[in-house]
Chain A
């Protein structure tokens, strides 16, 4: 009897986990764009130029033009419509979906703090280029010191996602922890 009970409970747990997950196919994911915007726009760009100076430190597995382009630009400055809910993170998500660029992050929207940590873009991960490397963002040239998902955008903002090899020092960012 006890055995049956444990079995049932564990089955229930698994079922619950599955229902709380949303599963999307690849095409569904990339075609689902965010809000259509309220007439405002912001630009977003992604680059990893700092890697070009530290190429020998880069992981062997991504020493490839596919992941690190020759000029270090993964996404040119691109304009996207935004609304009042859009953040520095959501515009990144929008852009990567649009251009089918790989993105991995931790902390989905449900996160209590609403914070999100970007682990990797275009298969370039934190620590991929030395121990001090990772992704930073800046809005209008100012490096944000809150989580990118908490930084609300307004019309005309310029968001740059940049890869650093030295905790932001090589980007000219003040010294605070990432994102």
Chain B
């Protein structure tokens, strides 16, 4: 049960963007760690399908390369070609890697939660005409690609495209121009279908299937207060790595930040538990 995905796009979009912003604005390694954990459990709760195996690699790479290029810091571990390799630079690299991966994970979640429908709903509220154009493009592009594939297969079956790069390119260009002709012809018919359905007669409204409910309102308020508190009032975002790392003191704000970032997972889990419970009653 992915309850979080059921929220109104405005709420879920703002929440995800603010989570990304907090992760990016913060220079605090603890917040980066909280964010990476929160994003990862959220990612798991979404059962998203994007592969993430490359992420540890990115993390390792940044963690290792930073101390090689940055030599600031008071805690010298060893010297490399006469330049100090310091603990601070290493920790900073770890922090950078963590932020990059946390942001990537948040965006993976974003891709799963904010479907093209939701994106268009957001967009349509601001720019209805542009939203329609995007919607049409979203249909045309896959159509164009599959049309191209079909045509290539057919042409190939008539006369196999022989080796030779020039011949190949020539054939592909011919197919491409053919596709353009066809889609232009299709566009004429599409236009008459649009006109037949009253396009351009009245002021267009942008319909979306999502309803803004009280829960959406609550999430919105939660997002705004949480974001404002963490960014402007918690004082956790500033942190120095060079020349000496600031001490990390326990602060109740860390817990608040964790609560803020773990909210979507909690919502999904809550949905799951409720679902299990409602099933068990049957």
Contact = CB atoms under 8 A, between A and B. Distances in A.
A22 B243 contact: no
A67 interface: yes
Contact of A105 (B72, B73, B77, B83): B83
Nearest to A108: B81
Chain B interface extent, by class: 10 to 19
B8 to A, nearest CB: 41
Contacts of A120: 71-72
A29 B243 contact: no
A123 interface: yes
B93 interface: no
By secondary structure, the B interface counts as loop
B81 A102 contact: no
Contacts of B243: 61-62, 67, 102, 123
Contacts of B84: 29, 102-104
By secondary structure, the A interface counts as mixed
A177 interface: no
A13 interface: no
A119 B77 CA distance: 19
B78 interface: yes
Contacts of B71: 104, 119-120
B89 to A, nearest CB: 10
A123 B72 contact: yes
Contacts of A1: none
A144 B167 CA distance: 64
Nearest to A125: B72
B83 A24 contact: no
B6 to A, nearest CB: 43
19 contacts: A22-B81, A23-B78, A24-B78, A24-B79, A26-B77, A26-B78, A29-B82, A29-B84, A60-B240, A93-B82, A102-B76, A103-B84, A104-B71, A104-B83, A104-B84, A108-B81, A108-B82, A109-B82, A120-B72
